[in-house]
Each structure stands twice: as C-alpha cells, then as structure tokens.
Amino acid sequence: MKKNNYPEIVIVGKPNVGKSALFNRLANNERSLVHNSRGVTRDPKSDFCTWNGFTFKITDTAGISEDIIKEDKIAKKAIKLAEEILKNSNIGIIVFDS
C-alpha cells in the first residue's frame, strides 16, 4: 500500500494543551517542538506511524485560538492551514487541557 493511501489523523486544539507532545509520542520521535510559550508550532509536522498494528499518517498543527488570530498574519495563516488539514483528514483528535 502506498503511504498516501493510509488514513490521515490530525491533532488540533488550543495552544499549549499537549498536541506536539502527543504527536511526538505517537510518531516515536521529537520532530515537533514542545515548549511552554504559546505559538511555537506554526508549520504542521507529519509522520507515518504504526500503533497496535494500524499504520496511519499523523499531523501536528498550530494551536487554534481566537486571540492568536488577532495577533499576527503568520499565526492567522498557520491556523487557516490547520483548518484546511483538518477538513482533508479522516480523523481529528481534539486535545484539551483541564
């Protein structure tokens, strides 16, 4: 099976809720930056991984928040891209922090 035929899973949520940490854990690498500052993830990061015999493409996206959209043009574009990736994915994982 070609890699582009695998299901696509996208991780979305507000800034600093653990999206990148979850991505790194599932992809078994540290490609996504994990930091206490908001807005560190701007460019989506994707990788292919296998979990319990199930292979899929996983994508980490920028944090989505109304106050970030107002901050700057780059953040606005990062969020638009995250929304587009979510529309084209098979599964969306929404990460919350309590």
pLDDT attached to residue 1: 41
Say how many domains are in the chain. Answer: 1
Give a yes or no: residue 36 inside a domain. Answer: yes
CA distance 8 to 61: 13
pLDDT score, position 41: 57
Residue 43 lies in domain: 3-7+17-95
12 in a structural domain: no
Q: Is residue 83, in this structure, part of any structural domain at all?
A: yes
3-state SS record for the chain:
CCHHHCCEEEEEECCCCCHHHHHHHHHCCCCCCCCCCCCCCCCCEEEEEEECCEEEEEEECCCCCHHHHCCCHHHHHHHHHHHHHHHCCCEEEEECCC
Which CATH number fits the domain that encloses residue 61? 3.40.50.300
Average pLDDT, 10 consecutive residues per value, the chain (98 residues): 76 88 83 56 82 92 73 77 90 88
Structure tokens at 72: 């700057």
| Reported pTM | 0.77
